[in-house]
């Protein structure tokens, strides 16, 4: 079935941090898809460039003057035809000429338009192309945040997360995370005098406490909610190791507790935290260039999902390398790290080849778009990491609930 791109327009909008990004509308035979791209603050060195030199304004100009003329009137079989044009038009692996955000917005908007034309949801359209049996992903949510997402005074580790592992319905899963978040807020009010419950970029609390005190609060809240709801809830961490690593001193720095640790001692520190707080998921535990330490932690914690984000940046070849060396058991999937749905699927497929836990993920600078749950389901990601609180985060959770009216199967997560 051949389809034709009738029109393509774009505009600058604002993400959840108040930063500019690109939103695109694509008209495929009268059916319009709309999508905006998010942006990350904690970015891997090998990610696609979100915008060309000059920022969103230049990206929008390129869309209008260079990209739109190439796509208008183009006959397409599916969104992959458009993705190929975008990749060839830029000519660089990191989309430095046109910007990964404009490429991704076009790619997803095209897929949404095609799904409307076919009369199916976005996830069903993607699943039909990838031969995926649709199932709802488990929500992994940020409860206490630190690092680049929160600023000085908050814990150095970027995210302390929770995940319901055996919910009966997606509503149960979403509610469990929300209840943990609210319980953590009450505990912080009790433990920290005059703390106004301030939050970071992703809607997680950003209290002036150490990493271990933060873990203790989340652990206690998770256990309380677990007992109340009868849903197994576990803890995860996004260390964002590159951001707390001092390359000149070759030390991981946790100033809140006066710790300056080399990679061996930091590994031991993470292993002890994992054991004490029953942590099942650790994302980017080390500097993204230190693949060996990822390997060593995976050996030390054989039942923990050691996850690569900055290490692999949704690139199939980097996922293959890290998985082949047994450095990771999980991989973050962020579509804007590579710039198109086609390249995102390449990464997912590679992860599946190695039997990795795949985590479809938001960015800290998010929009209210809710296509991420559809990508997670359509590509078969077992987990979705999209925050818990905040309008742009709740938009994803609410879309999962809507999808749950048609999809009854919810993923389960045992130990690695």
- Ordered per-residue pLDDT tens for the chain, 416 residues: 789 999 999 999 999 999 999 999 999 999 999 999 998 766 778 999 999 999 999 999 999 999 999 999 999 999 999 999 999 999 999 999 999 999 999 999 999 999 999 999 999 999 999 999 999 999 999 999 988 767 777 899 999 999 999 999 999 999 999 999 999 999 999 999 888 888 887 889 999 999 999 999 999 999 999 999 999 999 999 999 999 999 999 999 998 889 999 999 999 999 999 999 999 999 999 999 999 999 999 999 999 999 999 999 999 999 999 999 999 999 999 999 999 999 999 999 999 999 999 999 999 899 999 999 999 999 999 999 999 999 999 999 999 999 999 998 999 887 54
Question: What is the structure's pLDDT at 40?
Answer: 77
When divided into structural domains, the chain yields a total of 2
Rounded to 10 degrees, the C-alpha dihedral 118/10/335/280 comes to -100
Which residue among the candidates 47, 202, 212, 288 is catalytic per the annotation?
Answer: 202
Please pick, among 334, 382, 385, 396, the residue that the annotation labels catalytic.
334
206 found inside a domain: yes
Residue 416 resides in a domain: no
Among 100, 119, 138, the domain boundary falls at: 119
In a domain, 139, yes or no: yes
Same-domain check for residues 268 and 350: yes
Cα separation, 407 vs 404, in Å, equals 5
Residues 115 and 135 in one domain: no
* Spatial distance between the Cα atoms of 65 and 14, rounded to a whole number of angstroms: 22
Looking at the structure, tell me whether residues 167 and 108 fall in a common domain: no
Residue where a domain terminates, one of 93, 119, 145: 119
Q: Give me the CATH number covering residue 400.
A: 3.20.20.120
The pLDDT value recorded for residue 308 is 98
202 is catalytic: yes
Q: Is the dihedral of CA 325, 315, 278, 270 positive or negative?
A: positive
Domain C-terminal end among 83, 98, 119? 119
Q: How far, in Å, are 64, 337, 352, 391 from residue 369 at the CA level?
A: 22, 17, 26, 10
Give the CA count within 13 Å in the CB-facing half-sphere of 38: 26
3-state SS of 104-143 is: HHHHHHHHHHHHHHHCCCHHHHHHHHHCCCCCECEEEEEE
Give yes or no: residues 104 and 216 share one domain: no
Are residues 113 and 153 located together in one domain of the fold? no
Nearest to 361 by CA among 11, 42, 18: 42
Task: Check which CATH number belongs to the domain holding 96 and give it.
Answer: 3.30.390.10
Pick the closest to residue 179 from 217, 215, 142, 222 (CA basis). Answer: 222
Whether residue 114 sits in one domain with residue 187: no
Same domain, yes or no: 240 and 138: yes
Residue 392 lies in a domain: yes
Domain interval for residue 74: 3-119
Considering the domain boundaries, does residue 414 fall inside one?
Answer: no
Q: Find the radius of gyration of the CA atoms of the chain.
A: 21
- Neighbouring CB atoms inside 10 A of 57's CB total 13
Burial class from Cβ neighbours inside 10 Å (0-12, 13-18, 19+) for residue 374 reads buried
Residue 221 inside a domain? The answer is yes
250 among known catalytic residues: no
């Amino acid at each position: 079935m051949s389809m034709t791109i009738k029109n393509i327009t774009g505009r600058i909008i604002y993400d959840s941090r108040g930063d500019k990004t690109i939103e695109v509308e694509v008209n495929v035979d009268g059916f319009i898809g709309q999508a905006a791209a998010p942006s990350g603050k904690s970015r891997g060195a090998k990610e696609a460039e979100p915008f060309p030199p000059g920022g969103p304004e230049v990206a929008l100009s390129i869309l209008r003057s260079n990209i739109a003329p190439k796509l208008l009137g183009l006959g397409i079989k599916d969104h992959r035809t458009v993705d190929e044009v975008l990749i060839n038009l830029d000519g660089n692996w990191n989309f430095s000429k046109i910007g990964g955000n404009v490429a991704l917005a076009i790619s997803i908007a095209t897929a949404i338009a095609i799904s409307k034309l076919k009369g199916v949801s976005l996830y069903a359209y993607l699943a039909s192309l990838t031969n995926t049996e649709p199932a709802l992903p488990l929500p992994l949510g940020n409860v206490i945040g630190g690092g680049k997402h929160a600023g000085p005074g908050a814990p150095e580790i970027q995210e302390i997360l929770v995940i319901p592992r055996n919910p009966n319905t997606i509503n149960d899963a979403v509610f469990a995370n929300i209840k943990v978040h609210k319980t953590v807020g009450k505990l912080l009010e009790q433990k920290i005098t005059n703390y106004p419950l301030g939050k970071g970029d992703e809607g997680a609390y950003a209290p002036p406490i150490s990493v271990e005190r933060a873990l203790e609060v989340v652990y206690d809240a998770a256990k309380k909610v677990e007992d109340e709801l009868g849903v197994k809830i576990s803890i995860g961490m996004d260390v964002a190791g590159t951001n707390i690593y001092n390359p000149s001193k070759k030390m991981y720095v946790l100033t809140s507790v006066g710790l300056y640790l080399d990679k061996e001692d930091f590994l031991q520190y993470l292993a002890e935290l994992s054991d004490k707080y029953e942590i099942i998921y650790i994302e980017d535990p080390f500097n993204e260039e230190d693949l060996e330490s990822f390997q060593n932690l995976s050996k030390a914690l054989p039942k923990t999902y050691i996850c690569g984000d900055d290490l692999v940046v949704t690139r199939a070849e980097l996922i293959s390398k890290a998985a082949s060396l047994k450095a990771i058991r999980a991989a973050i999937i962020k579509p804007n790290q590579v710039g198109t749905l086609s390249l995102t699927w390449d990464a997912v497929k590679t992860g599946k080849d190695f039997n990795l836990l795949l985590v479809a993920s938001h960015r800290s600078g998010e929009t209210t778009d809710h296509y991420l749950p559809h990508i997670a389901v359509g590509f078969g990601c077992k987990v979705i990491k999209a925050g818990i609180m905040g309008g742009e985060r709740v938009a994803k959770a609410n879309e999962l609930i809507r999808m749950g009216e048609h999809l009854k199967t919810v993923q389960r997560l045992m130990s690695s």
